[in-house]
Structure 1
């Protein structure tokens, strides 16, 4: 895979970052800026579908399952999620969260994996870099279940997984993108508060689907000799 980053000076920065080592630049509104190499850690190599590693081949969900209600999440069972654990779309996973000196406990729920249209990417002006690819929107909720105020923290690290179990290319957005809004947690994000988020995943063609999602935030990543959490 390659890294592609495109910057917009007027209203923020919108970038397309794909796991790999190569970084390209794009331009919008006549402004172009060289992109720094990605510091994103590589996620574990994709493996064929298996219960232990969590990759699956379920069809994408266009809505949250019955277990998820109102923007919140169904109550997680079994305490803190274990590395490599697989959840159903609509099912909540409780995870430890840390951002700088702020630490707390949250639940994460992938509520839907929605197929979009190629034209949804037009605003990013990526041209041939995404030719033939199909965007999917991984929608999720974050709920504060701890005692720490997580105001202004950022919760990301979601990616899509393809129907064959491999990792989908991801689109990293900084700035406003109405098709897939993603913002930092608001002021006063205390116990019981929830926020929705979205991540963009790219299927390489119309014949391949983004069927699930993964969360690889700390401590569920290779830097901790760990594995991501999965939803399918």
Structure 2
């Protein structure tokens, strides 16, 4: 077999391995989607999948705001265009405190001020209409409310923020449930049309905790804080 043929075979096998991983995790933007009860179609399209999954680990940090736990290219705490400093890898914030982050979604990139505003305990009965009882049995939903403000200079219309997961007491990660469709208890939609500098949108992420446990913190692990080529990267946390 020629070296070129061997290389093609190796690349094909690697491609199959990656595809297998995606099937097993079933994640999109870090959160696996489950279908909601029939509802009016959303203005932003999404590709639902069944069940729920926990996103890749992103270790919480007790680093004080401004401290770096590894950093990343182009955003090591330098002043941001919209004011403040870009959050560094592993940085920790208090609930209600904004983190300035570089943001990329598909072909769009810019800058956001991301703030986890509150974490609210729900009721298992809240999920009854989603027809996922077998997948959430023994779990209590918690609603992570957050806001995203455009502090950059680009229009981020229809971009999806996502990549928010819950942290249980002690720092363990919660399960995450992303709803495909309308869920009044915890609405989560793409950024609206005309999301230009200064615009803000409130959103929500559903975190699942075993009965008796509580979700007391949240983590953002979107790019570049989830850079798999740099294992030292850690997400941003709110507690």
Whether TM-score is above 0.5 comes out as yes
| Aligned CA distance change for structure 1 residues 111 and 81 (closer, same or farther; 3 Å) | same
Whether 1:221 and 2:233 are equivalent positions in the alignment is no
- The structural deviation recorded for 1:8 is 5.5
Give the TM-score normalised by structure 1. 0.72
Q: Choose between structure 1 and 2: higher helix proportion.
A: 2
Query: Residue 16 of structure 1: CA displacement?
Result: 3.7
SS at match of 2:179: coil
Quick one: distance in 1 between partners of 2:118 and 2:100?
A: 18
Distance in structure 2 (CA, Å) of the matches to 1:95 and 1:188: 20
| Structure 1: segments with no counterpart, 5+ residues | 20-39, 55-75
TM-score normalised per structure 2: 0.70
What residue number does 1:81 align with? 87
Q: CA deviation at 1:53?
A: 10
State the partner residue of 1:121. Answer: 127
Q: Give the match for residue 51 of structure 1.
A: 62
Number of paired residues? 185
Alpha-carbon shift at residue 167 of structure 1 (Å): 0.4
Instruction: Name which of structure 1's ranges 167-176 and 125-134 shifts more when overlaid on structure 2.
Output: 125-134
Contact 1:15 1:173 in 2 (8 A): no
Q: Contact 2:103–2:111 (CA<8 Å) still a contact in 1?
A: yes
Contact 1:14–1:175, Cα closer than 8 Å, also in 2: no
- Alignment match, 1:102: 108
Equivalent residue in structure 1 for 2:136, among 111, 130, 135: 130
**Match in the other structure for 1:70:** none
State the shift of 1:215 in Å.
0.2
Query: Is 1:230–2:231 an aligned residue pair?
Result: no
| DSSP-derived class of the 2:170 partner | coil
CA RMSD of aligned residues (A): 2.5
State the Cα distance separating 1:180 from its structure 2 match. 0.6
Structure index of larger Rg: 2
Matches of 1:8 and 1:175 in 2, distance apart? 5
Contact 2:34–2:180 (CA under 8 A) maintained in structure 1: no
